[in-house]
Copies of this chain bind each other. A is one copy, B any other.
């Protein structure tokens, strides 16, 4: 073996190991669930856990194994349709709102399907095979499965929330009481021409490319996302009853769906509680607010006299902060409170809505073939979220990562971070003060 071949082989073996780890992690996520838990679908946007288990497997079977492994015996030909999510080029699909109609194949069968595909992937990744494209597709499949790990958790949370028994996904744990974080600070970014998007090292989805230049003006961004306590002040100030805070479409949605708080929040005896993967819990005022729609994030920002950052401002600020090592620290710690000082920009606790509509980067080219449907065709009427949440697989955090959802979506771990314009000549930013604006100011 040449040195190059040796390195490729080592990379591949590492890839095989990552494949096994990620697949095992998915199955660990469903371990606390019954077959019934895994089969139900709580709304068209959500999928049964069993479907996630099967679809991620279908992805490897359809895009990696079938085109390459001679004599591969398909586990069940019907799955080609049943577990196709949205790939028109692959053919027919079982309708999304009917994913919860499938009591069969049952859970053990789906687990057998996973094992069947895992064996075949194992062969694809044997060192002797030198197919570079395979490695790329397996890498994509791994990242795809990691995305579904988070979706599986948000979908299960939604399903359990529909059950009046309020069952918990995981055993409640008593978290150590958090020390109140300092008041969030504004961090100033000087602007300029920023390089946005993935630069080619390591994996990225196609929608993170190509890297391109964006002109950014000077702005300020909050050091941490908005907390539950801060958001509760917005509610207390009548935030859900003041149309002047809301986009027209948001106000209409709020009225149609009778929103009066974030998804999963309930008020008992004047105190806020929230339904979580640990069941009903007291709301920690210092934890970042979760389960906001874009509309709510935007309304909060307007109420606070600020705005959402663009995804470009977010990426530029994080990239700068990373040079100081702050990025991802929050996630690593598993909490949202700031441990090392309010001046550090931190993220990774909650997805953060940006003001940027999800659109292709200049020069974007979707991949050839069915894989090209992965991201590009969804670039309409959705908004970009940046960061990452407690449900995001650790290795999945990335400064260029673009998550995206429709503006009314609330069942993700989605929150809000503030930004604001800077008038030229303004001195350095001061701490964010009481953001509540007096009611009489808002007559407009």
Question: Is the Cβ of B104 less than 8 Å from the Cβ of A167?
Answer: yes
| A27-41 to B contact mask, C-beta < 8 Å, 1/0 | 000000011111110
A260 to chain B, nearest CB (A): 18
Question: Is the Cβ of A246 less than 8 Å from the Cβ of B377?
Answer: yes
**Across-interface contacts of A378 in B (CB, < 8 A):** 247-249
Docked Cα-Cα span, A193 to B217, in Å, equals 13
B86, B243, B250: the one contacting A380 at CB < 8 Å is B250
Is A100 on the interface with B (CB-CB < 8 A)?
yes
Question: Is the Cβ of A244 less than 8 Å from the Cβ of B163?
Answer: no
Question: Is the Cβ of B444 less than 8 Å from the Cβ of A366?
Answer: yes
Task: Give the segment of A131-139, A357-365, A389-397 that binds chain B.
Answer: A357-365
| A94-118 to B contact mask, C-beta < 8 Å, 1/0 | 1000101111111100000000000
14 A-B residue pairs with CB within 8 Å? A34-B104, A34-B106, A35-B35, A37-B103, A40-B103, A78-B165, A82-B165, A86-B248, A101-B159, A104-B165, A213-B215, A247-B379, A357-B359, A372-B444
Is A3 on the interface with B (CB-CB < 8 A)?
no
Is A176 on the interface with B (CB-CB < 8 A)?
no
**Across-interface contacts of A160 in B (CB, < 8 A):** 103
Is A183 on the interface with B (CB-CB < 8 A)?
no
Question: Is the Cβ of A247 less than 8 Å from the Cβ of B380?
Answer: yes
Question: Is the Cβ of B421 less than 8 Å from the Cβ of A103?
Answer: no
A82 to chain B, nearest CB (A): 7
B163, B359, B379: the one contacting A102 at CB < 8 Å is B163
Question: Is the Cβ of A39 less than 8 Å from the Cβ of B36?
Answer: yes
Given A215-B215, A444-B369, is A163 in contact with B103 using a C-beta cutoff of 8 Å?
Answer: yes
Docked Cα-Cα span, A86 to B366, in Å, equals 40
B98, B421, B443: the one contacting A89 at CB < 8 Å is B443
| Residue among A249, A377, A407 having the largest count of chain B Cβ atoms under 10 Å | A377
B36, B213, B294, B362: the one contacting A36 at CB < 8 Å is B36
Chain A residues 241 to 300 lying within 8 A of chain B, measured CB to CB, are 243-244, 246-251, 294-295
Is A370 on the interface with B (CB-CB < 8 A)?
yes
Is A182 on the interface with B (CB-CB < 8 A)?
no
Is A88 on the interface with B (CB-CB < 8 A)?
yes
Is A335 on the interface with B (CB-CB < 8 A)?
no
**Across-interface contacts of A149 in B (CB, < 8 A):** none
A321 to chain B, nearest CB (A): 21
Is A355 on the interface with B (CB-CB < 8 A)?
yes
Top 3 nearest A-B pairs (CB, nearest first) are: A357-B357, A215-B215, A88-B243
| A77-89 to B contact mask, C-beta < 8 Å, 1/0 | 0100110001011
A62 to chain B, nearest CB (A): 14
A300 to chain B, nearest CB (A): 15
**Across-interface contacts of A98 in B (CB, < 8 A):** 162
Is A164 on the interface with B (CB-CB < 8 A)?
yes
Chain B, residue nearest A33 (CB)? B103
**Across-interface contacts of A359 in B (CB, < 8 A):** 355-357
Is A175 on the interface with B (CB-CB < 8 A)?
no
| Residue among A244, A250, A372, A421 having the largest count of chain B Cβ atoms under 10 Å | A244
Is A381 on the interface with B (CB-CB < 8 A)?
yes
Is A154 on the interface with B (CB-CB < 8 A)?
no
Docked Cα-Cα span, A212 to B249, in Å, equals 27
Chain A residues 369 to 388 lying within 8 A of chain B, measured CB to CB, are 369-370, 372-373, 377-381
**Across-interface contacts of A39 in B (CB, < 8 A):** 36, 39-40, 103
- Given A36-B36, A248-B378, A367-B444, 12 further pairs, Cβ under 8 A: A34-B106, A88-B243, A104-B163, A213-B215, A248-B377, A249-B380, A355-B359, A355-B360, A357-B359, A380-B407, A381-B381, A381-B407
| A197-220 to B contact mask, C-beta < 8 Å, 1/0 | 000000000000000111101000
Docked Cα-Cα span, A217 to B106, in Å, equals 53
Is A368 on the interface with B (CB-CB < 8 A)?
yes
A214 to chain B, nearest CB (A): 6
Docked Cα-Cα span, A160 to B106, in Å, equals 13
**Across-interface contacts of A215 in B (CB, < 8 A):** 193, 213-215
Question: Is the Cβ of A381 less than 8 Å from the Cβ of B249?
Answer: yes
